[in-house]
């Protein structure tokens, strides 16, 4: 496994539509393994292949609702690999802060569905359905947008100041500590 460089929004590839994956081969597996390592290092909630310069419909999201067996492997256990993901249905609405590894230092308010049902394929090509709620729904929609060449900045209703971002971070930390 190796980490790959995350492209920033100055790279034209990020505004291109990615192509479907048809070969579930070793090359795909290496890409997925590298994306996993890259996402862990970047400490993000999701990453899409075009962000590492590969215009294929491959994405990874972190679903914090997945129960993990150990703290050490938590990030790895919470990651869901989505190949050729397609939205089947959406429900509700949420408005909240969003950022992107390709747009460092920028956070803004984006409205997303509260829950989303998708179908996708795993690394062997098997189809499965998945449902994400709240933050996971946000991450899934954000990553599928990447596969269509869309950045979250196109959907930002209001950008957040550094102070607001810091406040939200502290609130999250506080909420974590209160968890039993
Ligand atoms: Co992003």
pLDDT tens digits for 88-104?
Answer: 999 999 999 999 999 99
> Is the overall model pTM greater than 0.75, yes or no?
yes
Q: How far is the CA of 32 from the centre of ligand 1 (A)?
A: 16
Instruction: Give the mean model confidence (pLDDT) for residues 147-162.
Output: 96
In this model, does residue 126 exceed pLDDT 70? yes
Take residue 132 and report the two structure tokens written for it.
Answer: 């994400």
Q: Separation of 99 CA from ligand 1 center, angstroms?
A: 7
> Do 129 and 89 contact (CB within 8 A), yes or no?
no
**Do 7 and 101 meet the contact criterion of CB atoms below 8 Å apart?**
no
Q: How far is the CA of 45 from the centre of ligand 1 (A)?
A: 9
**Spacing, Cα 21 to ligand 1 middle (Å):** 20
How many Å lie between the centroid of ligand 1 and the Cα of residue 102? 6
Task: Check residue 127 and report its DSSP letter.
Answer: E
In which band, very low, low, confident or very high, does the pLDDT at 180 lie, cut at 50, 70 and 90?
A: low
pLDDT computed for residue 50 by the predictor = 97
Can you tell me which residue has the tokens 């939200």? 168
Rounded to an integer, the average pLDDT of 9-22 is 94
- How high does pLDDT run on average in the chain? 94
The C-alpha atoms of residue 38 and residue 51 are separated, in whole angstroms, by 10
Please report, in angstroms and rounded to a whole number, the separation of the first and last CA atoms in the chain.
Answer: 35
Catalytic residue, chosen from 77, 124, 131, 143, is: 143
Q: What are phi and psi of 33, to 5 degrees?
A: -60, -40
Q: How does 82-118 read in b/e, with b if 16+ C-beta sit within 10 Å?
A: bbbbeeeebeeeeeeebbbbbbeebbbebebbebbbb
- Residue 87 bridge partners (DSSP): 118
| Helix extents (H) in 13-149 | 26-42, 74-78, 135-147
**Mean pLDDT across 38-46:** 93
pLDDT at 114 over 80: yes
Q: Is 72 a catalytic residue?
A: no
Distance CA 60, CA 37 (A): 11
Distance 180 CA to ligand 1 centre (A): 31
**pLDDT score for 37:** 96
């Amino acid at each position: 496994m190796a980490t790959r460089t995350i492209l920033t929004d100055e790279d034209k590839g990020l505004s291109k539509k990615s192509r479907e994956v048809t070969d579930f081969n070793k090359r795909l597996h290496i890409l997925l393994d590298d994306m996993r390592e890259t996402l862990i290092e970047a400490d993000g909630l999701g990453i899409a292949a075009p962000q590492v310069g590969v215009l294929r419909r491959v994405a990874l999201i972190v679903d914090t609702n997945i129960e993990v067996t150990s703290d050490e492997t938590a990030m790895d256990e919470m990651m869901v690999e989505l190949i050729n993901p397609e939205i089947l249905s959406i429900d509700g609405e949420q408005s909240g802060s969003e950022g992107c590894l390709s747009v460092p230092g920028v956070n803004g308010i984006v409205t997303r569905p509260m829950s989303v049902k998708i179908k996708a394929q795993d690394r062997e090509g098997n189809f499965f359905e998945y449902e994400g709620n709240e933050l996971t729904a946000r991450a899934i929609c954000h990553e599928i947008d990447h596969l269509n060449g869309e950045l979250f900045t196109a959907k930002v209703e209001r950008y957040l100041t550094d102070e607001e971002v810091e406040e939200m971070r502290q609130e999250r930390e506080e909420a974590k500590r209160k968890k039993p």
